[in-house]
Amino acid sequence: MPAFAGQTPPSAARRASSPPALLGRLVPRSVLGLARLATARGHELRSCATLLVASALAVAAGCHRDWRTDMWYQPAVRSGDAVRPQPPDSIPLGAEASLADRDEAEPLVNPVAVSPTSLERGRALFASRCAPCHGAEGHGGGPVSRLFPPAPDLAYFAVKARSDGYLWGTITFGGKAMPSQREGLTVSDRWDLVNHVRHLQSRGAGRSPSP
């Protein structure tokens, strides 16, 4: 089967016991037996044997076609055979808008509604990604702040006054000193973080005076 050279068929065992192979093994034995009979019993039998051999061959020839109907055995483009061209103006699933910097993100509207699920995800991400600098409650004083430019209290009024898009942009692109937190966070992860920061802000003023 040259069309599928190099491919591993899913069931080689099935192929071994397929009808043509079985006939191939059975036909020669019966033909031999019939031929012996023919020499022993005479002319009529010989012609009968010829007839049988001819019909056996015809059946075997008819069996030559591949009966398998599963879709593996068909002309196909296997995954990885060729790079499929991307249609023009198409955007990969899950791709985010291409923004140059935080300022471009400022007008974005938060598409993720505040919900227990979003807040819970935001809380978990905040604990691992932001708390080391901004503190567990977001009011500054995280352990990294001792070695780094101090991270501000996120409940400070100037931060409260920022748009959701600006907060999302800060997480995505970083700030003057804050490193970008985009890596490993999906678009909606970052909106969950914004929702959590809003939640922290709603819980009252913090300690440090300015961002």
Cβ nearer to ligand HEC, comparing 18 with 188 = 188
Under rule CB under 6 A, residue 34 binds ligand HEC: no
C-alpha gyration radius of the chain: 37
Give the residue nearest to ligand HEC (CB).
175
Nearer to ligand HEC, 49 or 194 (CB): 194
User: Phi/psi zone of residue 167: left (φ > 0), alpha (ψ -120 to 50 degrees), beta?
Assistant: alpha
Of 121 and 134, CB closest to ligand HEC:
134
> Of the listed pieces 49-57, 78-86, 106-114, 141-149, which binds ligand HEC according to CB under 6 A?
141-149
Q: How far is the CB of 70 from ligand HEC (least distance, A)?
A: 50
**Binding of ligand HEC at residue 144 (CB under 6 A)?**
yes
Is 193 one of the binding residues for ligand HEC (CB under 6 A)?
yes
Cβ proximity of 206 and 139 under 8 Å: yes
152 lies in the site for ligand HEC, by CB under 6 A: yes
Question: Is 130 a binder of ligand HEC (CB under 6 A)?
Answer: yes
Task: Report the greatest alpha carbon distance in the chain.
Answer: 118
> How many angstroms separate the CA atoms of 145 and 24, rounded?
81
CA-to-CA distance for 211 and 208, rounded, in angstroms? 8
- Triad 169, 173, 178: Cα angle to 5°: 105
Q: Which is nearer to ligand HEC, 4 or 148 (CB)?
A: 148
End-to-end CA distance of the chain: 71
User: What's the burial of 153, exposed, middle or buried (CB within 10 Å: 0-12/13-18/19+)?
Assistant: buried
Q: Does 149 help bind ligand HEC (rule: CB under 6 A)?
A: yes
Q: Contacting ligand HEC (CB under 6 A), which of 49, 155, 167, 200?
A: 167
Which tokens sit at 136? 């567990």
- The reply to whether 139 sits near ligand HEC by the rule CB under 6 A is no
Segment near ligand HEC (CB under 6 A); pick from 37-45, 47-55, 77-85, 177-185:
177-185
